[in-house]
Amino acid sequence: MTISLIVPAYNEKEAIGPVIEEYSPYVDEIIVVDDGSNDSTYDIACSYASGKIHVFQHKENQGKVGALLTGVNQSTGDIIVFTDADCTYPARYIPEFIKELERGSDLVLGVRNIEAHNIPFFNRIGNAIFSTMATYISGKYISDGQTGFRAFKREMFKELHVHAKSLEFETKMTVRAAKLGYLISEVPIEYRERVGTSKLHPVRDGYRMFRALLSIAWHETSPLAKMISVPGIILLFAGLIFGLFSLQERIFHYHLVHEYYPLISVFLMLFGIQLTSIGLIIDYLSKKMDRLEERIRQLSFKKD
């Protein structure tokens, strides 16, 4: 199997050269996509161009997703690896990624060692929140759904049809793969301090990730699971309303006018969470069974 590395780059003149040099021994092909940089990123990347290293350029900035898609379309490998052009992800983990894919995984995630020295506080909080949401929605434990260092089989990517505009792409790709029943593996990796200026906007990109997760939760959930989960969500919100009423009474009247509201709130919220969870579990199991049947059919076809 041949390996293609996709490197989207936007104003990464300090890091693009070291990234190409570091990854070159581990892959068969490197596709660098300069996404409309206004510094010397493109020229530096072109200085490395060869039969193995190919450089493409967007005249105008199309965002990270546009650069990734251009890279995938221009690549020829059976296995695709995504990484960032900021020197944060070490290349030495690629052999471990490939081993996981050879064992049957469809998507391998490089789980970052998130610490104070390499990721700001608010970004760490956001990563924990969105990974927890991704785990709950997909029914599969996901430690780091936002990681930009990942490897996957080309045929899987064609089936995902991920529609995103910015950094929510990684989250959406991870959760959608899990919802569709693909096998996801995780490899712990070192996460280094980036070279250059970060392009992450915590509020804007956080909102996009949240919206993307809600979109997947709705559109990728089976009708049966929705029939169970939607009443659960309604009960959950009803419980929150009763809880807010109780809080309001406690603040403005210094005592509870309706003493039974807190009990109703807790009951509705617990029942709502249970119903929603059951619906998501049913959806996860049904998708896994569909994927298992598909794999069995593929094996039978190969034997014939």
pLDDT of residue 165: 66
Between 261 and 56, the higher pLDDT residue = 56
Q: How far apart, in whole angstroms, are the C-alpha atoms of residue 177 and residue 204? A: 24
Q: Is the pLDDT of residue 241 over 80?
A: yes
Between 88 and 196, the higher pLDDT residue = 88
Note the pLDDT tens digit of each residue in 143-182.
Answer: 888 899 999 999 888 888 777 666 678 888 888 888 777 8
Q: Is this model's pTM higher than 0.85 or not?
A: no
Give the sign of the dihedral formed by CA 292, CA 150, CA 211, CA 62: negative
Note the pLDDT tens digit of each residue in 266-282.
Answer: 999 999 999 988 888 88
Note the pLDDT tens digit of each residue in 61-106.
Answer: 888 889 999 999 999 999 999 999 999 999 999 999 999 999 989 9
Q: Is the pLDDT of residue 134 over 80?
A: no
